Amino acid sequence: MTFSASEIRQEFPALARVIHGKPLAYLDSGASAQRHISVIEAVNDYERNYHANVHRGVHTLSEEATALYEGARARIVKFLGAKSSREIIFTRGTTEAINLVAQSYARPLLKINDEILITHLEHHANIVPWQMVCEQTGAKLVVVPMDSQGEIHLEAAIALMGSRTRMFACAHVSNALGTVLPIQKLVEAAKARGITTLIDGAQAIAHFPVNVQALGCDFYVFSGHKMFAPTGTGVLYGREALLESMPPWQGGGDMILTVSFTKTTYNGLPNKFEAGTPNISGVIGLGAAVDFLNGLDRAAAHAHETALLDHATDRLRKIPGLEFIGTATNKASLVSFLVKGVHPHDLGTVLNDEGIAIRAGHHCAMPVMEYFKVPATARASFAFYNTLEEIDRLGGAIEHAVKIFS
Ligand code: C6P
C-alpha cells in the first residue's frame, strides 16, 4: 500500500470545489470531515436499490437492507477490535452515545456524593450529560486540572480517583487544543481502582487505529461524520457485561421482544439500545467508510498528518502576533491560535475569501476558553487529504489578514 495525499484527495468530491475563485483548502475536518466517494456511492446505491426498514420485513428488500445494516456493524466490530456485535450500538453520534451511558449506566448506579471524574479539556458533550446526571442523583462532578500547555497529567487524574469515583470520562484527543491524552495509562489507573471508563474518541477515530480491548476501556464513543461517513451516525462501544446490565434508554420499536399493557420484555443486545427506525443509509455509509480506512496505509496517512501539523506549527510560528493555544508535546492534527488585533471570526471570514475553511469560536469547549482567558480561537484542523501547500496558503492568508486589520 502506498499513500499520496494528492491522489487520495481526488476521491473526495467536495475537495474539488472552488470558493471565491480559489481552490478550496478544507481545514475544518475536526468539525466534520469530507465524504469519501465510496461512502457517497454506498449511500446512493442503498437509496436507489435496497431501501426498506430493517429487522422487520420478510420481503427481499427488507432482508437486503438488514444485511447491509448488520454488515456495517460487523465491520465496526473488527475496526474497533470489539468482541462481538452485541458490543456495538449505533447512535446519532458521540453526543447521543455519551447521553446514553450517562442515563442508562450512570444514573441508576449513582448515589448522593458519588463522583464522576472528567478533565478540564472536554467538549461540552462530555461535560453536560454528566452534569445532568449529577443534578438527577446528587452526585458530584470532579474535574482533573489542565496545565498551561493544555496537557492532562496522569498523576493529577490519579490524585482525584477516590473511593467515591464511579466513572472516569475523558477525551482521547481534545478538539479545542489537539492534545492527545495518555489514555492507556489513564484507563489502567481507573481500572485498578474499580472505576468505569468512557473515552470520547470523536477526534481520534479518523487519525489513528483504536483497539478497545487493548485500551481496556469500558465504553468508547465516536461520530461517523468525523471519519468520512454521513452525519447522524455514531457508535457506542460498550463491554458486553455492562451493556447487558443496563436498562434500555429509549423505548419503542425494535428494542422489545413482547409488549402488552401490563408488561414489556426487552430485546437483547444490541437492539435493546436501538429503539425506532435507525439511520439505515447513514450506517451503511459508515460501513463503507470503515472499508475505505481499512484499505488505507493508516501508518503512512498518520505520518502525513503529523507532517502537516509540524509544518503548520513551524509556518504559523513565524507570524508576528500569532499565539498558539494548546502546545502539548503530543498533539494530533489541529492548531488552535489567536492573532493579535484580529478577532478569530474576522480571521475566519478573511480566510474564507481566500477559499480557506477554518473554524472560529469556542469549539464547544467553553471551560478551555475560560482557562486561557479568551472568548474564542481560530482552529485549522487537518485530515490526510490536506497538503503542505494548503498550509502555506493558510500562513499567507493569515499574514494578509494581519495587514488588513492593522
Ligand atoms: N466537535 C468540533 O468542531 P457530535 O456533535 O455528537 O458529532 O460530536 C460531539 C463531540 C464530542 N467530543 C469531541 C471531542 C468533539 O470534538 C465533538 C464534536 C466538533 O470540534 C463540533 S463542536
Question: pLDDT-based confidence at 286, cuts 50/70/90?
Answer: very high
Q: What is the mean pLDDT of residues 169-184?
A: 98
Instruction: Return the number of other C-beta atoms located less than 10 Å from residue 338's C-beta.
Output: 19
CA of 18 to the centre of ligand 1 (A): 26
CA of 32 to the centre of ligand 1 (A): 9
Residue with cell 444485511: 67
Q: Whose CA is nearest to atom 8 of ligand 1?
A: 94
Residue 148 has pLDDT above 90, yes or no: yes
Residue 1 has pLDDT above 70, yes or no: no
Let me know: does 274 contact 92? Beta carbons within 8 Å. no
Pocket around ligand 1 at a 6 A CB cut-off: 30-31, 93-95, 123, 125-126, 171, 175, 200, 202-203, 223, 359, 363-364
Going from the N-terminus, what domains does the chain have, and what CATH number goes with each?
5-28+297-405 (3.90.1150.10), 50-294 (3.40.640.10)
Residue 389 has pLDDT above 70, yes or no: yes
Indicate the range of 1-15, 86-100, 235-249 predicted with least confidence.
1-15
Q: What is the mean pLDDT of residues 182-204?
A: 98
Helical pair 388-405 and 344-353, crossing angle rounded to 10 deg: 120
- Ligand 1, residue 231: give the atom nearest the CA: 7
Model pTM score:
0.98
Residue with cell 458519588: 114
| Residues with catalytic function | 364
The single-letter DSSP state of residue 81 is T
CA of 25 to the centre of ligand 1 (A): 21
Q: What is the pLDDT of residues 32-64, one digit of tens each?
A: 999 999 999 999 999 999 999 999 889 999 999
Q: What is the mean pLDDT of residues 343-361?
A: 98
CA of 177 to the centre of ligand 1 (A): 13
Question: pLDDT-based confidence at 245, cuts 50/70/90?
Answer: very high
Q: Whose CA is nearest to atom 1 of ligand 1?
A: 31
Q: What is the pLDDT of residues 299-309, one digit of tens each?
A: 999 999 999 99
Q: What is the pLDDT of residues 359-377, one digit of tens each?
A: 999 999 999 999 999 999 9
Question: What per-residue confidence (pLDDT) applies to 140?
Answer: 98
The mean predicted confidence, pLDDT, of the chain is: 97
